[in-house]
């Protein structure tokens, strides 16, 4: 039995980097279903693919499960452009049936409205100083490399996972200040758009709180946190973490999900465009 939610929102999967948890996100999606699936930016890491990455079979498996949502579950899939997949600017706006690519989305949830956006457009570093953002990306990639080896050591010692990057963010005052300002700015934008809340990603820090009566939700990432924002059938919002879910049977992706020639053609045409 698949767990049902009205809405599932994922962000910051970063397909193309070594530390992307592709297997886990595919397993998560294979065991859930929803009416609306929002991919809230940085799904594909175009920066890394352009620099030194490569498109692998496991990355294609992610889009196969997205096709399954579109054609088997009749799910509306909304892909919002992030800073690492800014190559999508070349085709915005784009729509094909239930599949849409755009910059932001206003989501109706009961009587409330949510402004859904990746969040980088409110980040001065990524918008005005892109070279500095890419330099920071190199440092973050190194930190993830160090984190992976450190946690391999911890696993051998029977110790739980420990996120070096999250600790660094918590310790550095400027980072804490940036995150606080970022959250407040997004809430102000949501209020200006007459929305009751904002749902974003970008900073890889899951959150569910109220700021000046505006509901702030951040979906985290699928590099370390492995989290998602979901809307229940009752219209309640919450964050769920992959590692806290009941043990899921690893699901082998069905390579025959696309049953028609038209669907197969669409997948073949879509993947190179997105790369």
Domain locations along the chain: 3-121+196-274
pLDDT in tens, 141-153: 666 667 776 778 7
Does the pLDDT value for residue 217 go beyond 60? Answer: yes
Structure tokens at 213: 């009566």
Classify 17 as helix, strand or coil: strand
Taking alpha carbons only, the member of 190, 238, 226, 230 closest to residue 211 is: 190
pTM of the model: 0.73
> What is the distance of C-alpha 32 from the center of its chain?
16
Does the pLDDT value for residue 128 go beyond 60? Answer: no
Q: What does pLDDT average to over the chain?
A: 81
CA distances from 190 to 63, 128, 179, 183, 196 (A): 30, 22, 17, 11, 7
pLDDT in tens, 170-188: 554 455 456 778 898 899 9
Query: What pLDDT sits at residue 78?
Result: 98
Structure tokens at 175: 């980072």
**For residues 51 and 148, what is the distance between their CA atoms, to the nearest angstrom?**
21
**For residues 234 and 236, what is the distance between their CA atoms, to the nearest angstrom?**
6
CATH superfamily of 3-121+196-274: Metallo-dependent phosphatases (3.60.21.10)
pLDDT in tens, 92-110: 999 999 999 999 999 999 9
Query: What pLDDT sits at residue 29?
Result: 97
In contact, 220 and 28? CB cutoff 8 Å:
no
CA distances from 160 to 147, 152, 175, 239 (A): 13, 10, 25, 21
Between residues 167 and 72, the one the model is more confident about: 72
Does the pLDDT value for residue 155 go beyond 80? Answer: yes
The DSSP annotation for 209-244 comes to EEETTEEEEE---TTTT-EEEEE-TTS-EEEEEGGG
pLDDT in tens, 25-80: 999 999 999 999 999 999 999 988 887 667 888 899 999 999 999 999 999 999 99
Structure tokens at 184: 């407040």
pLDDT in tens, 106-123: 999 999 999 999 998 765
Q: Which residues of 193-206 are buried (b: 16+ CB within 10 A; e: fewer)?
A: eebbbbbbbbbbbb
**For residues 218 and 232, what is the distance between their CA atoms, to the nearest angstrom?**
16
Between residues 6 and 259, the one the model is more confident about: 6
Taking alpha carbons only, the member of 217, 185, 212, 190 closest to residue 201 is: 217
Taking alpha carbons only, the member of 149, 119, 122, 99 closest to residue 221 is: 119
**Cis link prior to 93 (omega < 30° from 0)?**
yes
Mean pLDDT (whole number) for 79-87: 92
Q: How many residues does the chain have?
A: 275
In contact, 115 and 198? CB cutoff 8 Å:
yes
């Amino acid at each position: 039995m698949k767990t049902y939610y009205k809405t599932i929102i994922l962000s910051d999967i970063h397909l193309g980097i070594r530390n992307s948890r592709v297997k886990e996100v595919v397993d998560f999606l294979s065991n859930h279903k929803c009416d609306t699936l929002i991919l809230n930016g940085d799904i594909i890491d175009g920066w890394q693919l352009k620099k030194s990455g490569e498109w692998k079979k496991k990355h294609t498996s992610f889009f196969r499960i997205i096709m399954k949502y579109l054609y088997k579950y009749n799910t509306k899939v909304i892909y919002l452009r992030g800073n690492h997949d800014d190559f999508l600017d070349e085709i915005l706006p784009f729509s094909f049936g239930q599949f849409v690519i755009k910059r932001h989305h206003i989501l109706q949830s009961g009587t409330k409205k949510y402004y859904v956006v990746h969040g980088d457009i409110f980040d001065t570093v990524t918008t005005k100083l892109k070279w500095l953002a890419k330099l920071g990306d190199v440092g973050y990639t190194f930190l993830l490399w160090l984190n992976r080896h450190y946690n391999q050591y911890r696993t051998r010692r029977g110790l739980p996972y420990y996120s070096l990057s999250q600790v660094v963010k918590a310790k550095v005052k400027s980072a804490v200040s940036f995150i606080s300002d970022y959250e407040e700015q997004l809430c102000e934008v949501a209020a200006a758009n007459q929305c009751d809340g904002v749902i974003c990603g970008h900073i890889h820090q899951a959150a569910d709180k109220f700021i000046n009566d505006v509901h702030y939700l951040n979906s985290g990432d699928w590099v370390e946190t492995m989290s998602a924002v979901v809307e229940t059938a009752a219209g309640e919002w919450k964050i769920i973490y992959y590692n806290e879910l009941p043990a899921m049977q690893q699901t082998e992706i069905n390579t025959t999900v696309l049953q028609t020639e038209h669907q197969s053609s669409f997948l073949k045409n879509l993947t190179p465009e997105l790369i």
